[in-house]
Amino acid sequence: MKTHMSDKDGKKPLGVGGSGRSGQVKQSFSHGRTKSVVVETKRKRVVAKPGGGASQPADKAKTPLTARVAGDPSKRPAGISDAEMERRLKALAAAKAREAEDNERRAAEEKAREEERERRRAEIEAKAREEREREEARKAKAEEEARAAREAEEAKARQKEEPKRDARAKPAAAAKPATPDQAAIEAAAARAETKGVSNTQRKPDRERNDRDNRNKTTRDDNRRSGKLSLNQALNGEGGRQRSMAAMKRKQEKARQQAIGGGQRAEKQVRDVQLPDTIVVSELANRMAERAADVVKSLMKMGMMVSMNQAIDSDTAELVIEEFGHRAVRVSDADVEQVIDSVQDKDEDLQSRPPIITIMGHVDHGKTSLLDAIRKANVVSGEAGGITQHIGAYQVQAESGAVLTFLDTPGHAAFTSMRARGANVTDIVVLVVAADDAVMPQTIEAINHAKAAKVPMIVAINKVDKPTADVQKVRTALLQHEVVVEQMSGDVQDVEVSAKTGHGLDALLEAIALQAEILELKANPGRAAQGAVIEAQLDVGRGPVATVLVQHGTLRRGDIFVVGEQWGKVRALINDQGERVEEAGPSVPVEVLGLNGTPEAGDVLNVVETEAQAREIAEFRTQQSKDKRAAAGASITLDQMLAKAKADQTVAELPVVVKADVQGSAEAIVQALEKVGNDEVRVRVLHYGVGAITESDIGLAEASQAPVIGFNVRANAPARNSANQKGVEIRYYSVIYDLVDDIRAAASGLLSAEVRENFIGYAEIREVFKVTGVGKVAGCLVTEGIARRSAGVRLLRDNVVIHEGTLKTLKRFKDEVKEVQSGQECGMAFENYDDIRPGDVIEIFEREEVERTL
């Protein structure tokens, strides 16, 4: 509803008039309530059908016209076809739509006009209000001026009364501060005029300020009024109150003062466990002191640290002593005390089988020799006939003695594997081919055996070959301080042939003899301890570790920790592939049930509880992280910048490596790191164990690197991802091929070597000036051939004064490609004119030669 205003403002009165008709409607509500409202009805244009009135029954009006006319042929005008009728009905629908649009537009315009009227009215009211305020301000100013003038006249009159001046001096002095001077009066009037605020309008402000001050005073009183009652809380009285905890503290303090006269409680001295490093907040917690106090104490010592920073144990100990507590030094490494080696009693020790590692150069017949001893055929199943994994087997000799053999690879890449084999073994069998003598990996195996301080037996293999020279092998070994018994030394040597079986009994007898001398014993009754020979990630079985038990007995269900991993023995599988319940000393078994793949060479220890195993594994993981972080942090900024500068000129070939076992992955990484020189190098982005996954493909794509799979394959999602992203996956089963291919790829990154080939010399006989060309040299080719495409140097007194290319090479005014020796020709240089008779032109060609690593 719109309100009516009087005509006195000079404004047009508003009402419910307008284009429509006004009327009253009675609204009915529930419980018999009614309400009368004024409504405005607008006329609607009704499109009536020919012959039909505007007022039709409601049910007919609700039915669409198309349906009514189409459904009832009698209503259709005579001679109108269906198509014509359809066209007319469409035109009628379009007219209705246009009418609806017009109505909407008119309503919007009416609304806009109404808003404009409201805005104008508000502007007029604001102007009138301002005018009134200005008028009031003028009146107030006039009154002030009149009063000031009156007071000034009175003052003059008083000054004229000389006799009464002394008598009136005191009242005048009292009245003077209350009398404002003319400048102050004008300033007050100007302020009133500027702000448009009368004195009557300032009065509410003063009242509001007084009220606020009263409220503040009341609130302050209420804050100190004691406990908050339930009524006060519900009624919202009292504003911001003290908390219940504060009130309780206050009451407790008052009670303590009443009982003990306010003496302080005795400080409790605590034993504070102090590791190598500790965070300030944790130190405060252990001392039961406020962290802020600890930070303050450290600041007094000159250490600006926050409560979330770590401090070393020495500083922490000083803080603990300052607060009056006792520091108890502990180390994070204390968690590993549970796996400390147990001293075995002599009565508990029992004989154990010897562990024999077979070592030697590649293709000297190590695996074939072991196959002959085991009466098995491992070689035929190996890729390329070479061993690339470390294998562990148990063999029962004819005498009944049990021997444990480790078969190591002979390839140069597997240094770390051979080192691991030497570290866990009792006896090293050094296999040397009689037709090949001592080779690089033979020397390496000798060094490993010496470093591990284990006895050695030399097996001279392939003695059945016509080219075999056993004596040459024995002599060659002397150079490396291996003196065999035949040469009056203490190292046993046996001539064997893995192919014919010759000398195998003698070899086993020599091993048994050496084992007897060593008197190998172990305690099978203690908690197991062993070494991881190899580890891999197996599809379906998860992480699998080949473990050689050294002490105690490993049983199914044992909880163990191995390196940074831990687990519970789910299954034990021996070298024959059979499941066993336990494995005693010197027995190699595959262990299932790890939570991750350990590193080859890690030590396995059985612990009592799962919590202990988890804690030790977490501590070791954190320790290795800290070590890596410390290694990175030790590099100074200068070193980092120098390295970055040096690396700018080095081309890198990034690769992602996935292998079937941990040892192979390590060997491949070590081999690839050796590929390269000062200009190019191979960078292993990531290496791991197990099938190639989508994450490997994502990493390779980001660095535009190939993925190398060694005895593993990519799973289906990884293959699809590689096809989409264009990542190359290369599979290998022989490490030679892998290293050769990577070396070839890295060679492709080397910049080609540019070589110059001199193809001819020409002597300048005469110099001509040709319009549009410049100076042209008339030359005689004295040696070789002159080519248009070749590079040239201009020599004057055997000194090079210009190097460039030919602009033109002519013979008898014809442009030619080349000129033979002994013929004359015309030459012009590109962008160079300083040529003289007697100069020599040297003609050469550059060719790029690919370099290899």
| pLDDT value for 228 | 60
Other CB atoms within 10 A of residue 300 CB: 9
Average of per-residue pLDDT across 196-225: 52
Collect all residues with Cβ–Cβ distance below 8 Å to 609 and sequence separation of at least 6.
Answer: 559
* Beta carbons of 295 and 280 less than 8 angstroms apart: yes
Percent of the chain past pLDDT 70, that is, above it, reads: 77
C-alpha angle 341-342-346 in degrees, rounded to nearest 5: 130
Percent of the chain past pLDDT 90, that is, above it, reads: 18
CA–CA separation, 734 and 383 (whole Å): 6
Place of tokens 């603990």: 320
Whether 323 has a pLDDT exceeding 70, the answer reads yes
Whether 53 has a pLDDT exceeding 50, the answer reads no
| pLDDT value for 635 | 67
Question: Helix axis angle, 182-195 relative to 82-160, nearest 10°?
Answer: 170
DSSP 8-state assignment for residue 299: H
Count Cβ neighbours within 10 Å for each residue of 622-641 and write b for 16 or more, e otherwise.
Answer: eeeeeeeeeeeeeeeeeeee
| pLDDT value for 723 | 92
Beta-strand relationship, 310-312 and 277-279:
antiparallel
CA–CA separation, 151 and 162 (whole Å): 19
CA–CA separation, 803 and 791 (whole Å): 8
Per the structure block, which two tokens stand in for 738? Answer: 């892998």
Average of per-residue pLDDT across 743-759: 81
For the chain, state the CA radius of gyration. Answer: 53
Q: Which sign does the torsion angle of CA 807, 813, 815, 818 carry?
A: negative
| pLDDT value for 13 | 53
Average pLDDT value over all residues in the chain: 79
Per-residue pLDDT tens over the stretch 367-405: 788 888 877 545 455 554 444 555 778 887 777 778 888
393-397: list long-range contacts, CB under 8 Å, 24+ apart. Answer: 393/575, 393/588, 394/353, 394/574, 394/575, 394/587, 394/588, 397/508, 397/512
Average of per-residue pLDDT across 413-417: 58
| pLDDT value for 109 | 93
Strand, coil or helix: 736:
helix
Average of per-residue pLDDT across 727-753: 84
Average of per-residue pLDDT across 187-196: 49
CA–CA separation, 583 and 508 (whole Å): 23
Whether 591 has a pLDDT exceeding 80, the answer reads yes
CA–CA separation, 368 and 714 (whole Å): 32
C-alpha angle 96-100-104 in degrees, rounded to nearest 5: 170
Which of the pair, 335 or 699, is modelled with greater confidence? 699
| pLDDT value for 367 | 78
Please provide the distance, in angstroms rounded to a whole number, between the alpha carbons at the two ends of the chain: 96
Nearest CA-CA partner of 836 in 734, 727, 763, 738: 763
CA–CA separation, 661 and 737 (whole Å): 18
- At position 129, the amino acid (one-letter code) is R
Per the structure block, which two tokens stand in for 709? Answer: 């799979």
Average of per-residue pLDDT across 340-350: 74
| pLDDT value for 2 | 41
Per-residue pLDDT tens over the stretch 475-533: 888 888 888 888 888 888 888 888 888 888 888 888 888 888 888 888 888 888 888 88
* Beta carbons of 741 and 816 less than 8 angstroms apart: no
Average of per-residue pLDDT across 414-424: 65
Beta-strand relationship, 729-732 and 814-815:
unpaired
| pLDDT value for 65 | 52
Collect all residues with Cβ–Cβ distance below 8 Å to 217 and sequence separation of at least 6.
Answer: none
Q: Which sign does the torsion angle of CA 490, 495, 497, 501 carry?
A: negative
Average of per-residue pLDDT across 523-547: 86
C-alpha angle 449-455-460 in degrees, rounded to nearest 5: 80
* Beta carbons of 545 and 604 less than 8 angstroms apart: yes
Place of tokens 């919007």: 108
Residue ranges of alpha helices (H) inside 181-325 are 182-195, 199-223, 230-235, 244-260, 280-287, 291-300, 313-322
CA distances from 514 to 214, 353, 426, 454, 490 (A): 106, 12, 9, 11, 11
Strand, coil or helix: 573:
strand
- At position 842, the amino acid (one-letter code) is E
Written as one string, the DSSP assignment of 320-359 is HHHTT-EEEE--GGGGGGGGPPPPPPGGG-EE---EEEEE
Per-residue pLDDT tens over the stretch 650-660: 788 899 999 98
Per the structure block, which two tokens stand in for 429? Answer: 């069998």
CA–CA separation, 195 and 834 (whole Å): 91
CA distances from 582 to 478, 549, 585, 800, 813 (A): 44, 10, 10, 85, 99
DSSP 8-state assignment for residue 383: G
Strand, coil or helix: 567:
strand
Beta-strand relationship, 774-787 and 824-829:
antiparallel
4: phi then psi, degrees, rounded to nearest 5:
-90, 140
Per-residue pLDDT tens over the stretch 797-832: 889 999 888 888 888 888 888 899 888 999 888 888
Average of per-residue pLDDT across 48-72: 49
CA–CA separation, 173 and 547 (whole Å): 114
- At position 543, the amino acid (one-letter code) is P
| pLDDT value for 557 | 92
Average of per-residue pLDDT across 418-423: 66
| pLDDT value for 299 | 92
C-alpha angle 84-87-48 in degrees, rounded to nearest 5: 100
679: phi then psi, degrees, rounded to nearest 5:
-100, -30
Per the structure block, which two tokens stand in for 205? Answer: 């402000």
CA–CA separation, 294 and 311 (whole Å): 12
Which of the pair, 200 or 581, is modelled with greater confidence? 581
DSSP 8-state assignment for residue 71: H
CA–CA separation, 297 and 283 (whole Å): 12
Which of the pair, 185 or 140, is modelled with greater confidence? 140
